[in-house]
Amino acid sequence: MVTAAVSISHIHKHYGSLHALQGIHFDIPKGCFFGLLGPNGAGKSTLINIMAGLVRSTQGSVRIMDHDVRQQWRQARYALGVVPQELAIDPFFTVYEVLRLQSGYFGLGRENKPWIDELLDILNLTDKAHTNLQKLSGGMKRRVLIALALVHKPPVFVLDEPTAGVDVELRKVLWEFTTHLHQKGHTIVLTTHYIEEAERLCEQIAILDEGKLVALDDKAVLLARYPYRLLRLSLLDRNIVLPTSLQDKVHSFLKDELVLRLHREKDHIGSILDALRIANIQFSDLHTEESSLEEVFLSLTHKDKGK
Ligand SMILES: Nc1ncnc2c1ncn2[C@@H]1O[C@H](COP(=O)(O)OP(=O)(O)OP(=O)(O)O)[C@@H](O)[C@H]1O
Ligand SMILES: [Mg+2]
């Protein structure tokens, strides 16, 4: 029995001399809520576009629900719904027309109307159904792209930065809806720059950096593997001279809040507090925080280099 919804095998992608993906190899299990994270230019969209058959890999193969994206492109395409990062959308149709056309592309006729109506309702587009696409705002176009990706009820639903530039209301609707689809058994693949979103929603997380896979694990395992925690101090006076022993532990220092990054085993809070007292650094409050996915992300990607 095939348990992978998406199986990515040794994918390389060259754009001229740029090696955008360098041997990406992993599976996304069926029914998983999967996060694909990475800084700008890591190769996330390239990988998603290869999954969708929109970009041809230089080497390697991808299977969607056990259908090879190249050899069985039609079956693979039917198994996948992708919300693209770019808001490219044909401006000559109304919202309803474009959904009906997309539905037809998947061989679905009038019988799909109740589902289209439901999508319009969930995404709060019902009163825009007969509006021309070019008259919609950016956030509304994004809603249409979400509806388009789901028109054929694909088992695998991929969202490439769906909440970039989206208002709070749509973000909430989108997460409730994807959570609902996930509960119904759909596999969800999400890329986002809002790491707390991935931390809240995703069960497994892959991190890409400069075309390479730098982490892939269950979220809990990934978080536990990271040996740091944060000590947050509200200073009484921000004009301080930090002892040299603490200088390489500064995570951030904004206004009167000093945040130190401490190793769980090597740094003892007692000694840190002693060092602060000797340096006459006074604070009104302190608390510790376990590492967040953002910390893990920064430590594993080049954004943290030089820290
Ligand atoms: N059509 C293309 N032609 C040439 N280079 C490209 C093309 N598409 C992407 N690239 C390059 O490939 C690399 C990966 O780009 P990609 O869009 O996959 O990154 P990403 O992880 O999705 O980034 P972002 O977070 O900014 O969306 C980048 O260096 C990008 O400039
Ligand atoms: Mg991208």
Q: Verify that 72 and 209 share a domain, yes or no.
A: yes
- Check which CATH number belongs to the domain holding 283 and give it: 3.30.70
Closest CA relative to residue 81, chosen from 162, 20, 24? 162
Among the bound ligands, name the one nearest to the CA of residue 207: 1
Determine how β-strand 18-29 pairs with β-strand 4-15. antiparallel
Output the six-digit token pair for 256.
């009167």
Residue 49 to residue 294: CA distance in whole angstroms: 25
Q: Which atom of ligand 1 is nearest to the CA of 46?
A: 18
CA of 43 to the centre of ligand 1 (A): 6
Both 209 and 240 in one domain: the answer is: no
Q: What is the distance in angstroms between the CA of the first residue and the CA of the last residue of the chain?
A: 45
The answer on 239 and 271 residing in a single domain is yes
Range of the domain at 132: 4-223
Ion ligand 2: residues, CB < 5 A = 44-45, 85
Q: Which residue has the tokens 């693949």?
A: 189
Pocket of ligand 1 (CB under 6 A): 15, 18, 20, 38, 40-46, 85
DSSP run (H or E) holding 113: helix 113-122
**Residue of the nearest CA to atom 4 in ligand 1?**
15
Which ligand has its closest atom nearest to the C-alpha of 193? 1
Going from the C-alpha of 292 to that of each of 11, 175, 193, 194, 295, the distances in angstroms are 30, 20, 14, 12, 5
Q: Is residue 233 part of a domain?
A: yes
DSSP tag of 88: -
Domain count, the chain: 2
Helix (H, G, I), strand (E, B) or coil at 80: strand
Rounded to the nearest integer, the mean pLDDT of the chain is 91
Give the tens place of pLDDT for each residue, 17-60. 999 999 999 999 999 999 999 999 999 999 999 999 999 999 99
In a domain, 65, yes or no: yes
* Domain-ending residue, one of 223, 246, 270: 223
**278-305 pLDDT, tens per residue?**
999 999 999 998 777 888 888 888 665 5
Take residue 240 and report the two structure tokens written for it: 């301080």
Q: What is the CA radius of gyration of the chain?
A: 23
Per-residue pLDDT, averaged over 99-123, amounts to: 94
> Would you place residue 306 in the very low, low, confident or very high pLDDT band (cuts 50, 70, 90)?
very low
